[in-house]
C-alpha cells in the first residue's frame, strides 16, 4: 500500500458525459501527478501540481482539467468524454515535486466510456 488513495476504483459512463476522479496523496506529500495508461498510448504524464499550483503539464487534453485543493487532495475532471478516453488513470504523489523525488502511485481509477 503506497498511501495514495484514489476514488472511485471503477467508473462506467457514456460518451459526452463528464466525470471527476479524486486523489489523496500520501501524508506529507505536497506534489500530485496524474497519468493516463492505455493499451495504445502506454503510460502518459498528464499534469503535476505542487502545493496547490500547477507545476508541469504533459499530454493533457483541453477537455481535461485538474486542480489541487488546500488540503492537498486533487481532482481530475474529464469532460465531453469519448470512447478513446477509456483508460486507467493513476495519481501519484511525492514530497516536493522535485526531479529526484520518488513518486508513489495510487491503485488507479479504471474509466470505461461506452
Among the listed residues 15, 16, 43, 63, the single contact to other proteins using CB under 8 A: 43
- Residue 36 pairs in a beta bridge with 44, 89
- Regarding 45 and contact with other proteins (CB under 8 A), the answer is yes
- Are 3 and 88 in contact by the 8 Å Cβ rule? The answer is no
Q: Which three cell numbers stand for residue 45?
A: 504524464
Rule CB under 8 A: choose which of 34, 49, 64, 90 binds other proteins: 90
Q: Does 100 bind other proteins (CB under 8 A)?
A: yes
Among 27, 42, 62, 70, binds other proteins (CB under 8 A): 42
55 lines the binding site for other proteins (CB under 8 A): yes
Question: With binding defined as CB under 8 A, does residue 72 bind other proteins?
Answer: no
H/E segment holding residue 55: strand 53-57
How many of the other CB atoms lie within 10 Å of CB of 44?
A: 14
Residue 92 interacts with other proteins (CB under 8 A): yes or no: yes
Is position 24 an interface residue for other proteins (rule: CB under 8 A)? no
56 binds other proteins (CB under 8 A): yes
Establish if 36 lies at the interface with other proteins (CB under 8 A): no
The CB density around residue 86, as the number of other CB atoms within 10 Å, is: 17
SS3 84: helix
Amino acid at each position: 500500500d503506497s498511501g495514495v488513495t484514489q476514488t472511485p476504483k471503477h467508473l462506467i459512463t457514456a460518451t459526452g458525459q463528464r466525470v471527476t476522479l479524486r486523489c489523496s496523496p500520501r501524508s506529507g506529500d505536497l506534489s500530485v501527478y496524474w497519468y493516463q495508461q492505455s493499451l495504445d498510448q502506454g503510460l502518459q504524464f498528464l499534469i503535476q501540481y505542487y502545493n496547490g499550483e500547477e507545476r508541469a503539464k504533459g499530454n493533457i487534453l483541453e477537455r481535461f482539467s485538474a486542480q489541487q485543493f488546500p488540503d492537498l487532495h486533487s481532482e481530475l475532471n474529464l469532460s465531453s468524454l469519448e470512447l478513446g478516453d477509456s483508460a486507467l488513470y493513476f495519481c501519484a504523489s511525492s514530497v516536493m515535486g522535485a526531479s529526484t523525488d520518488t513518486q508513489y502511485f495510487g491503485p488507479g481509477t479504471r474509466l470505461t466510456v461506452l
